Amino acid sequence: MFRHTIRRALCVLAFAAVAPALAQNGDALRDDHPERYTVQPGDTLWGISGRFLNDPWYWPEIWYENPEIDNPHLIYPGDVIRLTVVDGEPRLTVQRGGGTVKLSPQVREQSLDQAVQTIPISAIRPFLTGDRVVGREVLDEAPYIVAGGEERVLGARGDTVYARGLPAEPARGWSVVREHGAIEDPETGEVLGYEARRLGEVRLEREGDPATFRIAESLREIRAGDRLLVTEQRELQAQFTPRAPERSVEAVIVSARDRVSQIGQYDVVILNRGSVDGLEPGHVLEVFKRGREVVDRFAEDEEIVTLPAEKAGELIIFRTAEQLSFGLVMEASRAMGINDLARSP
């Protein structure tokens, strides 16, 4: 994990006098909101906001942004969030480590990776650091493990494996992946890509045909036939700014982590819309469970009627490709499933 230090002034996080999204909503605050809350390790900004607000993803719009602060949404364990009323308007203020925050030239130095994250990064880490969706040709042309050392079929950390199909100038670091099936667009039938589930990491020790590798990390057992993709150097982004897409989007859930039959809170889903449709990391979509078909036996002639779609939760986009995107379900009022809808709020 990357670490770097930021310098920031102490700040007050307050409700804006006029927040466009909430100006039409007099029920911004939850009826059971606390008067104060002490930030705990493991908290998320979404979760903290959800203790005070009916719609927690609105926090970037309604927390006051001090122009002297590079990122005013960074708070830390031990900070105390207090609810007060000033001139009839509710305000959230933060007390740093339990002490009152004063707006002054004083600077505070903190490590960014100690800040409270927007969403639980552990839930999306596999899709930020290894799991991929790639084209058929990428998998077909990727090097593959042909055997393990000492006649072993399965490999674990520290074991030797042999692979064929390396390029003339191979990289040193490779991710071991296994195809997890095609992702099809249910509306067009087009294959959007193939899931490549990361199994571990190997390091090239000796070139040749076959080449010799040492397993550096093993998340699951590695076996003959698994493919090698060059390790991606992707920054682990821990902070997302929740917001609505700038244009209307309607997508379909086409896959879920481990192909679960029922999707709930903190499950990762894949949608059939991506960057070409205007989706970006941080965009929030509402999830609707498709209405089931029922037979109307009371009609003059029996009819099959499709019931209306019902809202089932909310998700936040954390990674996009051209034709698809990855989202994390943040709120779930009922179980969701493949082929359910995701729309702009």
Lookup: tokens for 163: 């692979």
CATH number of 250-343: 2.40.10.410
Q: Where are the domains of the chain?
A: 5-116, 125-230, 250-343
The model's pTM: 0.74
Contact by Cβ (8 Å): 48, 116: yes
Q: Look at residue 336 and tell me whether its pLDDT is greater than 50.
A: yes
pLDDT at residue number 79:
83
Q: What is the pLDDT of residues 145-165, one digit of tens each?
A: 999 877 665 678 889 999 999
Give the 3-state secondary structure percentages of the chain, helix then strand then coil, rounded to 5: 15, 40, 45
State pLDDT tens for residues 60-77. 665 654 343 345 457 788
pLDDT at 208 over 50: yes
Helix (H, G, I), strand (E, B) or coil at 114: helix
Binned at pLDDT 50, 70 and 90, residue 96 comes out as low
Least confident of 8-17, 24-33, 221-230, 265-274: 8-17
Mean pLDDT for the chain overall: 79
Q: Is residue 267 exposed (0-12), middle (13-18) or buried (19+ Cβ within 10 Å)?
A: buried
d(CA 57, CA 47): 9
C-alpha distances out from residue 71 to 66, 115, 120, Å: 9, 11, 19
Annotate 199-231 with DSSP letters as a single string: EEEEEEEE-SSSEEEEEEEESS-EETT-EEEEP
Size of the chain, expressed as the number of residues it contains: 345
* pLDDT at residue 258 in the model: 65
User: Where does the pLDDT of residue 299 fall: very low under 50, low under 70, confident under 90, or very high at 90 and above?
Assistant: confident
Weakest mean pLDDT among 73-77, 181-185, 282-286: 73-77
Query: What is the reported pLDDT for 182?
Result: 92
The whole-number pLDDT of residue 344 equals 94
Q: Is the pLDDT of residue 99 over 70?
A: no
